Structures are given as structure tokens and as C-alpha cells.
Chains A and B, each alone.
Chain A
Amino acid sequence: MQTQKGAAAHAAPTHLAVQGLSKTFGDHRALASIDLTVARGELVTLLGPSGCGKTTLLRCIAGFIAQDAGHIRIDGRSLDGSPPHKRNFGMVFQGYAVFPHLTVAENVAYGLRARGVAAGQRAERVARALDRVQLSHLAQRFPDALSGGQKQRVGIARALVIEPDLLLMDEPLSNLDAKLRVEMRQEIRLMQRELGITTLYVTHDQDEAMSISDRVAVMQGGVIQQIAPPEVVFDDPANAFVADFIGGCNWIEAEVAGDPAVLHIAGEAALPLPPAAGVRGPVRAGIRAEDLGLAAPDAPGLAARVLVRSFLGPRTRLRVETPGGLRLDVDLPSADCPREGDALRLAPLPGRIRLYARDDGRRLA
């Protein structure tokens, strides 16, 4: 049942379809006409800053919140008006939501009981689910005698044992410590692929989103800003928000002019742009720290001086300042890295300057 990474996204048919979904709380627009499709077996993460509407979207899909407008379909079947307990979606909660008065096994059996699964079959499926999350030895424990990681495994087993049409996870790992988080996200990814279960995963941790997703939906202000595979979101951001939120960016207010096009930065040297850039006029230029390098001696570049140096292992991050007062972050290999106070000249790697509109941040080039 192993699916190739990315293959599911493109080959498999649409499983979940969200169309024009809107939700307003009072006068706060939490979701603004969301369109989203998830293919069968695909894992899509909703990634965005706090308050951007991730949980609201997930809870609309789970049926806990009634949308103001729009539709949710699963396999083409509309879910409008269907209550949460009839949707057959599995949900994993940030706070675990493990029933404290039931043992681990009873927790996992809960959804099967609700479905009237016969006792014999129930025990068998619970055993298998516990085995999958490596909790068989704790089946008779009560939750208050479990660690956070173990509780979340119970939550996952409980959601998976009902063989849901869709798995919804709302920041399932954010209550765990950093090391366990990395371990568990790999386990979740592995399990998800093995079972081929369509999954919508909410997080505000971009590493987590990047490492487990088939596609990432970057959200902001109740709008999906971009939905694409992780590498595309990173390398080819749709707008300034995505570029800034994913990976971070140096932002420079500049002007594009001339033929071939050149980027003029007030008080600094001009930087050449790729020939294809058809944009002219005022722009916001975005350059990632890792896309800046030391300029060759005779090539154009920005003169600067190192303010702060932070060692990050193989790379070192420098905060530099140009004579014109522009401050930039630069990642350089740690070997032979300039020291604080050193002067250097920086140039963007070819084709790595992205241009965005100053007003709405849309991508220009």
C-alpha cells in the first residue's frame, strides 16, 4: 500500500473538496471563501500564524462549526447539515482529549462501540490499533498514568481504529517536547502512508509542515495564500507573505529600471536582474539569507559590515549593515566566515531575487 511521495497528489482522484467556505464570527472574518481539494491518500497541512483560521477550517470540516456559506464534499457527496457524529472523520486533538475515566483500550474502543461493532471484533481491532502505535503493553492503564506522547498515541489509535474517511489533526504535536515532536511526526507520516489515509493536518510549525506534507496550504487572514508541495512553497512563493512566513526573507524597498533591468536600491549599488524580468517601477525585493553570497571581486555587489554573527553548525548567520543603513541577514558556510566588524561585499545568487508588489505583496517576478 506504499504510495510514492507526491504521486498521490497528482494521480489520485479528489477525495475531500472544500468550495467557497466562509465563516464570520461577529464581525471577524475567520474564513474567507476557502477552496481546497485533497486527493485520496494525500496529506495536506494547513500552515499559518496564530488566528489565521486553521482550526476554524478544520472544525467546519469536522462538523463542529456550521459554515456561513460554501460546501464541503467527500467523494462528491455533500456534507451540508450532516452532524459531526455522522461524518466518519477521525480527529486528533492538540490537548489529546483522551477520556480520563476510560482505560487506553476503552478509549480506543469508544468509536467502535458507537458503531455497534461486536465485542470480539472490537477487541481484535483495538489490539491491532494499539499495536500500531506501540501501546499494547499499556492497554489497561488509565490516561493519568501516561506521558503526553503516549496520550497522543492513544488519540491517534482512537481516531484510526474507526477507519475514518478522513483524518483531521489539529496541532497534534504542539504539546510535546521538541525531540519527541520530530520522532512522532515521522511516525505519523509513516502510518499515514501505510494506511493511505487522506489527512488534513494543522500546524504552525513550518518544519513540521515541510517534513510531512504532500502539499502545504499556507493560510493568512482566513485566506489560503498558496497551496503547493513543500519545495514549491519554499522555492516559488506566491506572494510576499508566503516568502516571509516560510523561510524568512530580507525585504528591500527598491526600483526596477533600465534595459536590461537593474534593481536600484536607494543609497546602494544597483544589482542586475535576470533578463526575463518584465517588471519596471517600485517593488519590494525579497532575498533569502541563504541566497546571498560573497560577491566576486569585479562583480557588482552591496558593501556591508558584519554586526552580529550567530553560529548555526555548518552555516553561520550574519547580520550585516550597509553604509546606507540597510540591514540584511546572510547565511554563509561556517568555514572562513567573516567576523564581527569585518567588511564584505554581498551579491544575490543568480536568479534568486524575487520581486513583489509594494501594495498587496503579490509576486511580480
Chain B
Amino acid sequence: MMGLAGTLNLRRALADPWILLAGAALLFLLVFVALPLAELVRQAFIGQKSGAFGIENFVSFFGSGFFRRALKNSLVSATLATMIALVIGLPLAFVFARFDFPGKPWIEVAILLSMLSPPFVGAYAWIILFGRSGFVTLAARDAGIGLPTIYGPTGIALASAFSLFPLVFLVVRGAFLRVDRGLEEAAASLGRPPARVVWNVTLPLVMPAIVTAALLVFLGAISDFGTPAILGEGDRYPVLATLAYSLYISEIGSEPGMAATTCVILVLIAFALVLGARFLSMRRKVANDSAPNRSPDPLPRGRARAMTVAVSAFVTVTNLPLFVVLISSVLQVRGVVFQPVLTFDNYARAWATIGSALTNSLMFAGLALVATVILGTALGYYVTRRAGPLARAIDLLVMIPYVVPGTVIGIGYAQVFNGPPLFLTGTAAIIGIVYLVRRLPYMTRAAASAVFQIDATLEDASQNLGMPPARGFAGIMVPLMRPAILAGAAIAWVEILNELSASVVLYTGATRTLPIAAYQQSLGGDVGIAAAYAAMLVGITVAALILFALAGGLRNGGPPTTA
């Protein structure tokens, strides 16, 4: 009897195409997520000098002033970035949650734009403005004013904050919307002035969301490679991500063991942050989900207009890096200084040196996007609808790259796939796979939350009516998930196209991409070409966003983070 039941179940399992897909996905994730990380951990425990197993590398790390400085710099610049992002994001979140004013949807798109444009483009814009030969720096010098340097923690924090504050905006606005307004009214009815009600009642209620947002910003800032690489000028102001990169890549005296150790320390910090955020949001759930979601208060006409102007001005400032890059891309360059003369020279020179970077980018990102959307949709469905150890394992593995900084993944890949059995170093495949793996968590989550909201009995009904499961999935689930898939795809496209921190470790001359080209030029290359490349990236990003905004449903996507 048991034997019979056993074979019955086995037959069912084999008849279920999802099992095969999930099995393949698990294998893929083990090879391309778990294995590289495990390898890094292993190498971190093999002494760089002695080759013996132990904590030698960690001892040298904490024993070296240089390494300790990188750790401190990472923490300091990420903390500063978090504070600035909160200062920008919190008022915006409050205003958007509480008031209605003309142009709100467009301003919101502009806010998301600052998040989706590549962070190192922002960094480069700050250099154009405040760098040694920057517009503002030179103008100030002419006026006899010496400005503090943009290279170092201030610059890194500013650039990071300007690209990460939208996370604060999204997360905290949601919390403001869920706050039970009855509580505020109760406080107001006790005679508290409005400002004090917000301070004493509302703020504590949204505190968990603020903490979560702060941790996300901190994670984004500490994981980023491009911004500190450009604004920290390599080893002058090292942070963990750039330190790991240069330890690994350095042509003279590469120290893979120390690189791995740095990666492990960075990953530990990142995991601690995410666990902390989860712990905090679990422990205190004060925003009341059952309270009605009250729509924002309409303002009197005059004040609404004033609000629009103020918010637009504010958001324009946060998007300033984009404008700076776009404008300077059409300015003449003399030496390293932009001149107030309009020209397309930069684009001509950029085009002459671009090589295969643009086609590489479009091709790798296009292929990776297709794979991300298909696999992310399938896995989002699988982990939501199927219980069991396989689904749990996939869910866990797929989310790991959400936490692990891109540079770390890149170094892990470079270590593991540089020889048999999987020799991928220098191939297009390794770039495509790293794009896919880094983006998969977001796509999977977006798909999963869409599936979660779809009544599970719809599929039962479809099957019961005689539709084979695969056709039913295509006919029922895909159309119902489409808005979420589209939104996820839009954001995935932008993020993949702008990916730098992992691909910069893995590219070779033949697989150079546009972000890498832009990054190289902005590091002491031709400033005009750098601006032109950056402007091209911004252009493709904006075009994609407009396209998808027109297709509807940008709002359904999960919050993206850094490239």
C-alpha cells in the first residue's frame, strides 16, 4: 500500500513541469550564488601569506591601519549618506502622503528617476560641479573663495544620498499612508498644535518604516562601488568595496585572500543590516493596516500651487546631477575644463572610441532582461504557490544577491569561474549571468507579491475545466501578473543596463559595456567623452522609464536599489 502511494506521488511529481524547473533553478542558484560566496569565505580563511587555514587574514585586516581606515570610511560615508537621504526623503514622503497638489505623478516619476539613474553618473556630476576643475570650484576660486573638497566622504555621501533618498520616500510614504489618522485627530482634539501632533504622534508611528528605510539606504551606500571609486579617487579614500576591488584586480601584488576577507567583512555588515531591519519591522508593527487608507487632504488652490512649486524645485535639485551631465555632454572641453560653448564634439569623440561598448551593453542587458523576467516570474510563482523545502531553498538563495554587494559577487565569480569545470572568465556569458543573478531578487519579489494577490483557486478552476496546467498558467496567471511583470521589467532593464560594480570586475576588452566605458573615462580620462557616455546612459534610462510609464504600472514594481 505504501509502495503504491509512493509511486503515485513520484509519477505526479514528474508530471509537474514546475518540479523540473525548480530543480534546474536550484542547481543554477547553487552554482551562481552559493558557490562563489562559499569560495570567498573559504579563501578568507586561507592565510594570504602563510597559506594556512585560520583567521590570519582577519588579523592582518584589523591590524592594518589602511584596512581599518577603509572600514571606517565605509561606515562614515554610509552614515552620512543615510542622514542626508533622510533629510531629503522624509519631508517629501510626508508631503506626498498628506497633500494633493497639481503635477504630483510627474514629480513622483522625477523622484524615481534620481534613483534609477546610475549612481556613478551622479558622482561624476558632482565632480563636474565641485571637482578640482569643476564649474563651481573655478568660479569660487575666481571670487576668492576656497571650497571644501568634494573628493572623500562628503562627496561620496552626497552623491549616494541623492540617488538613494527615493528609498526613504517610497518606504516612509507607505507608512504615512497607513497611519491611523484617528490617532492624530484624537491628539489634535486634546489641543495639541498640528506640528506637535506630527512630532509626538505621527513620527513615532512611522518610526519602524524610517528605520527600515535608513537601513536600506545604508546598505545601498555601503554596497556601492562606482560612487566611491570616482569620488574617493581609488586608494586615496578607500572604502570596503573599492578596497576589495583593488586588492583583487591590482596588477602588481594582487592579494586575493585579503580581497576575499574584505568581501566577507562587507557581506557580514550587509547581512547584519538586513537582519536588523527585519527584526525591527517584526517587533514593532504600529502602522494600523485595518485603518482606512485616507486619501490625501486637498489644499486650497493657492497653497496647492505653492506646494507644487516648492516640491518641484526641491526635486529639481535632487535631479541636478542628471541635468549637469546632460548639459556638460554638449559643452566644449578644453583640457579638463568645460567651456560655455555648445558642441557635439564630445559625442563625436565618444562615438569614435566607443568600440563595442554600446552594442555589448544593449545585447548583454537585453538577454539578461529576458532571462530575468522569465526566471523571476516563474520563481516568484513557484515560491508563492508551492510549499516545501525546495521552494524555501530557492526563496532563500534567490534573495542572497539582494544583500551581497555587486563587487563581492563579481570577485566571487572571477575566483570560481576562471577554470574548469566552468571556465567563464572573459566571456559574455559571465556578464549576462551576473546581471541576471543580481536582478533576480527584485523580479522574483515583484512577481511573488503579484501572485500572492491572485486567488489560488483560479488555477484550480482552470485545471478543473480541462485546461492543462501550462496552458492555464499562460492564459490565467500571465495576464493577471502582467502589470507587475512589466513594472519589474522596466526597473530591471534600467538597473541591468547601468550595472557597474560586478561587471567592472569581470569585463575584458571584448566585453566592455557602456557603464564601464563611462567609468573609465571619468577616472582621469577625457571628461567630455565621460559626460557623453553618462548622458547616453541617462538617455536610455529615461527613455525606458517613459516607455513603461506610458505602458502603465510603474507603481507596481518593488523598490530597486543601486546599480
Contact = CB atoms under 8 A, between A and B. Distances in A.
Indicate whether A and B interact.
yes
Interface of A: 62, 64, 66-69, 80-81, 83-91, 93, 95, 97-101, 110-111, 113-115, 155, 158-159, 162
Contacts of A64: 460, 463
Given A66-B12, A68-B5, A85-B468, A97 B455 contact: yes
B465 A111 contact: yes
Contacts of A111: 465-467
B389 interface: no
Interface string B58-73: 0000000000000000
B468 to A, nearest CB: 5
Contact of A88 (B8, B466, B469): B466
Interface residues of B, number: 26
B467 A110 contact: yes
29 contacts: A62-B464, A64-B460, A66-B8, A66-B12, A68-B5, A69-B4, A80-B8, A83-B15, A83-B463, A83-B469, A85-B464, A85-B468, A90-B464, A90-B465, A95-B455, A97-B455, A97-B457, A97-B458, A97-B460, A99-B458, A100-B480, A101-B479, A110-B462, A114-B467, A114-B471, A158-B461, A159-B465, A162-B465, A162-B466
A84 B12 contact: no
Contacts of A110: 462, 465, 467
Nearest to B480: A101
A10 to B, nearest CB: 30
Contacts of A98: 461
Contacts of A89: 464
A85 B475 CA distance: 15
Interface string B451-492: 000010110111111111101100010011000000000000
Given A110-B465, A114-B471, A158-B461, 14 more contacts: A62-B460, A64-B463, A81-B8, A81-B12, A84-B460, A85-B467, A85-B472, A89-B464, A97-B458, A113-B467, A114-B467, A114-B468, A159-B464, A159-B465
Contacts of A155: 461
Nearest to A101: B479
Residues of A contacting B: mostly: loop
Contacts of A99: 458, 461-462, 476
Contacts of B283: none
Nearest to B454: A100
Nearest to A94: B457
B145 interface: no
Interface string B1-13: 1001100110110
Contacts of B12: 66, 81, 83
Contacts of A158: 461, 465
A115 B466 contact: yes
Contacts of B9: 66
State the 9 A-B residue pairs at the shortest beta-carbon distance, nearest first: A111-B465, A114-B466, A97-B461, A97-B457, A114-B467, A91-B464, A84-B463, A85-B463, A93-B457
